[in-house]
Amino acid sequence: MSLLKEVTSLIRKEILLEWRFKYAINGILLYVVSTVFVCYQAFKSVDPTTWNALFWIILLFASVNAINKSFVQESRSRQLYYYTISSAKAVILSKIGYNILVMLLLSAIAYLVYSIIFRNPLGDPVLYFLVVILGSMSFASVFTMVSGISAKAGNNSTLMAILSFPIVIPLLLILIKVSKNAMDGLDRSVSTDELVVLLAINIITVAISLLLFPYLWRD
Amino acid sequence: MKHYWWKILAILLLLYSIIMGILGKVPALPIVHETIRNVYFHVPMWFAMFTLYLISVIYSIKYLSSNDPKHDLVAVESVNVGIVFCLLGLATGMIWANFTWGAPWPNDPKTNGSAIATLMYLAYLVLRNALEEEQKRGRISAIYNIFAFPIMIVLMYILPKNTDSLHPGAGGNSGFGDFDLDGSMKAVLYPASLGWILVGTWLMTLRFRIRKLEYQSHTAAD
């Protein structure tokens, strides 16, 4: 129970910090909207497969940029302070939780802007939106751990990309496939297998992050 | 004799698999024809790679709990040798694909998955180079290694299973067991796999011993 309390108060702290400066969140929202505009200006109209792939690529890069910062905004001494007052599990859970919230907001806005500007008929909008939500949660859980690793290794953004892209490719492949199914309006039973694999990958990554973060945190 | 019996066994198994692989009886199949013999060389590469990555992840876990630099060295050398086997597996696969599927790199999920898994392990090596302090390097790369291992399994063994793949045993294709009715191919394939796994482990231990000597002379000089 105390872990839950620690996690919620840490998430509240993250949101409060972000709310005070609004720098990261505004920056990343602007990034998404301008990327959507660049793609729109460059492509004008695209076929459904490209539309889908483009959306996920935009979301992928936006999420890497959003989550990349999650361990570096705070100074070392403040991290040391967290280390003394809370457990490592609470820290990683709160980071994952906060990043999931950010990604949900980000992907909802990206989806909205993208589908308004870039008009494209969706066969099953509810399932598509569900896949977007699941996808942003999976990006958040994978990238949080990887950004923790790359932050310890001097945090250059090249390293973050090298480390995270191969890991996220299986997720991305499944997401593109399921969202294409949703786009074509296929029966939902076609996609259940993929959704189960997606959930399983999510659970595995969160579990491994929980197990490994205490070793990463200790420094 | 007690220590190196398995090295002799590895050489004998490889000799057996090469001789029997080239001279042995294989089922006559369309399209594949005699290239089916490549199964004795292509498949064992992946078995060896998987074993080495497994050794690597086990030693990474051991390193996290023990902080013994030797465990870290075993983990990194297993990955080094594992990557070589993965590249060999890709090379033999590409030669084979050129004859049977018409192109060296058909858009096949298993092929793509193994290439991506290789990128992941190359990223592990890059991560190691990015870290200078020895203990930190061992710990952080061990964490990444453990994190990458289940993703590798998903990429190479789970995703190709439920998509359309050219590889046998995936996407509703029949596996090799269906052609090999009298078990004559299994009699070569399994010893060959064991042989290559042992050779891979042998290479790994050799590299590990060199690294250990380097490490000891390095720390002694300080």
- Report CA torsion sign: B180, B186, B187, B192: positive
Structure tokens at B181: 């009715």
- Please give the pLDDT value at position B202: 93
> Does B115 touch chain A if contact means CB atoms closer than 8 Å?
no
Q: Quick one: pLDDT band at residue B53, thresholds 50, 70, 90?
A: very high
**Are B123 and A169 inside 8 Å of each other by CB?**
no
Average pLDDT over residues B138-151: 90
**Are B116 and A146 inside 8 Å of each other by CB?**
no
Contact residues on chain A for B62, CB-CB shorter than 8 A: none
| Percentage with pLDDT > 70 across chain A | 98
Burial of A72 (0-12, 13-18, 19+ CB in 10 A): exposed
What does the alpha-carbon distance between residue B65 and residue A135 come to, in Å, rounded to a whole number?
33
CA distance, residue B130 to nearest chain A CA (Å)? 6
Structure confidence by residue, pLDDT tens digits, A86-103? 888 888 888 899 999 989
Exposure string for A140-166, b = 16+ CB within 10 A, e = fewer: bbbbbbbbbbbbbbebeeebbbbbbbb
**Are B150 and A145 inside 8 Å of each other by CB?**
no
Residue B45's nearest CA partner among B175, B197, B217, B203 is B197
State the count of interchain CB pairs (< 8 A) between A and B: 74
pLDDT value at A50 more than 90: no
pLDDT value at B178 more than 70: no
pLDDT value at A170 more than 80: yes
Asked if A55 contacts A114 with a C-beta cutoff of 8 angstroms, the reply is yes
pLDDT value at B113 more than 90: no
What residue in B sits closest to A146 (Cα-Cα)?
B144
> Does B91 touch chain A if contact means CB atoms closer than 8 Å?
no
ipTM exceeding 0.90, yes/no: no
- Please give the pLDDT value at position B27: 73
CA distance, residue A91 to nearest chain B CA (Å)? 17
Structure confidence by residue, pLDDT tens digits, B101-111? 888 888 788 88
> Does A186 touch chain B if contact means CB atoms closer than 8 Å?
no
**Are A167 and B120 inside 8 Å of each other by CB?**
yes
Average pLDDT over residues B142-167: 82
| Percentage with pLDDT > 90 across chain B | 37
- Please give the pLDDT value at position B58: 95
Structure tokens at A113: 């802007």
pLDDT value at A154 more than 60: yes
| Percentage with pLDDT > 70 across chain B | 91
